[in-house]
A and B are shown apart, each in its own frame.
Chain A
Amino acid sequence: DVKVTQSSRYLVKRTGEKVFLECVQDMDHENMFWYRQDPGLGLRLIYFSYDVKMKEKGDIPEGYSVSREKKERFSLILESASTNQTSMYLCASSVLTVVSTDTQYFGPGTRLTVL
């Protein structure tokens, strides 16, 4: 079974803090994704990566950065957390394919509260 783990289920930070959210997958997937989930808005893609040290902006990258130093690990960084970044953050991974879509497998999510 695919296993995607996230470092924390719940996190409380203060405005202005630097926040790291970690995601690890154990299936040797090339693709990794970070989404945020907000009520009434569904899941929105923040960043994704299709290889080590490679990254692509998603639909809402402002205020976030990412790091992928190893294939199995994808970090989301909030350089200076703000209250509007209070949300549920979900990580996912999938196989990189060219002519089709592989299924994305999700971690349990991190509920971040910024005070």
Chain B
Amino acid sequence: AQKVTQAQTEISVVEKEDVTLDCVYETRDTTYYLFWYKQPPSGELVFLIRRNSFDEQNEISGRYSWNFQKSTSSFNFTITASQVVDSAVYFCALSEANTGFQKLVFGTGTRLLVSP
């Protein structure tokens, strides 16, 4: 069965600190996709990244970076030099081949609070 665990319920940092949001997943499939979404206070989920199981290269996009490690079933998200605008709830999600790839299973989310 597929499952996504975000053990950190809430993280508080001061602006300019680096912060890592953890995501651990469970799947029996060899082919799957992992996602990160951001939900700012406005409520709309904003897509950040999609990664397939065959691509373990880390990715960097500006202040955001993602570390995908199949050996530990983790897909962690790091924000460098955090800013107040990064305050949001962040969700990690998984889809897999045996559900036809159409369904996403979400973690419970991590609320990030960045104070000035």
Task: Judge whether B64 is part of the interface by a CB distance below 8 angstroms.
Answer: no
Interface of A is mostly: loop
CB neighbours (8 Å) of A108 from chain B are: 42-44
Bitwise interface map of B from 21 to 56 toward A, beta carbon under 8 Å scored 1, else 0: 000000000000101010000111111001010000
**What is the total of A-B residue contacts with beta carbons within 8 Å?**
57
> Is the pair A31, B102 in contact by a Cβ cutoff of 8 Å?
yes
Bitwise interface map of A from 89 to 114 toward B, beta carbon under 8 Å scored 1, else 0: 01010101111110111111101000
Q: Chain A: interface residue count, which band?
A: 20 to 34
The stretch from B12-20, B66-74, B76-84, B103-111 touching chain A is: B103-111
Q: Give the distance in Å from the alpha carbon of A48 to the alpha carbon of B43 in the complex.
A: 20
Task: Judge whether A41 is part of the interface by a CB distance below 8 angstroms.
Answer: yes
Q: Which 5 A-B pairs have the closest CB atoms?
A: A106-B45, A42-B108, A101-B101, A109-B43, A43-B106
